[in-house]
Structure 1
């Protein structure tokens, strides 16, 4: 497959559908230099984007948290996403919406006079972790820590928060792993580079308190699924040494969907009945079955 800059199709930019290869920004765009960018990753199943409006609402909230008012309403963002899917003839796709400070009068840390721009692209994309979705992903343990909410707006889906994710995933892949698990600034288990994490022990589920990480929409959906099944969900701080006692583990995210985990560092987990039930149930839910 060609690189992401060299494909056929249409991308929505600032209210207009443009040719894929022409969807460019200036080298002095503020976002490129100072990470003034927020985004959403969404999946479209059989013509319907799962939790589409919630994603659009979160995009606007992320912009607010970065002091970057996005000049579009939820309805306008929804229309832009649909226009991209229609223009590219896609019914099953990954949808990426990004809002960022472009080039303008400011080229320093401050950028209040620069326009906030938005773009929407969509493409066909299979399993985020490849065949790990069936047999269980292998995770490294990242050397970096997820930061304190006092240092950066951790509730925003912001580009700057992913810098250590990129480095950690590169390090993990060099070790033959699919991803890496972060601890947070206090030492508690946090999340993977782009997905939330769940554990199973003695018939109950445990997942980190999202007080320093993104409270993912897929995470919230899966918690609801577990509660509907009468399974107790413990949302709490989890210490790293507890990994040894957990029986099952999975990751959740719009890209990751529900992906079983077979190993984190030296700790192993079975791809058990509950993990498979939730993964299969999520697949039915997003397809309206």
Structure 2
């Protein structure tokens, strides 16, 4: 986009807007170096221009969202975007992301590498920062010695969003759920062991914990820390085996297999088992 030469951007919606709820519309937002550009939106099209006083090198991202009649962005629908550049910034250098899709839990972080020879840090934006945020990049070299920029994406709340780095996009899904630290454990009758469980953006009312055979293995909540880590204490009752089941309401299940034996030595297998909310 150059000063004096406005550009019209059109969004294509499938299915047609008329097939959505009454009042559904497209809203347009500028991110990045947005102050250098002006926009005039009308329905599925948006005209972008650069005021003459803003001539020079600038870069921004124009994003189109589906929204309800109040202007609130609709969950579960994909946004789309295009990169806007002006001046010599129109040639930012080829950018390649090492990830096109990632699924993370609330509070977790993921690092994405943008390989590019650009001397200046490419602009990065999350279309929905309330779902996932993206921090500023730092200059790095990849495993082949090629220059690039490393960005950290953090899950904020459950939902879907897109992270745009210099026009290249990575889809991000953020889930709430739980993670346990034990795949299996062997213990003697009367022995006790604690399974660690970490809640990620999940209310405890949505979690149920049970034993498939309470006469063999009992389970009780022992302690919860301020960091969201819960300890569930199991007790061996009699010889046999049972599963301790962690069920997220409307979502997935993870389990720890427990063997109770009077002759076997206590031992277990650690793991990072995740159950996502629906």
TM-score, normalising length from structure 2? 0.24
Larger radius of gyration: 2
Q: Hey, which of these two has a bigger chunk of strand by percent? A: 2
TM-score, normalising length from structure 1? 0.23
- Structure showing greater relative contact order (alpha-carbon pairs closer than 8 Å, 6 or more residues apart): 1
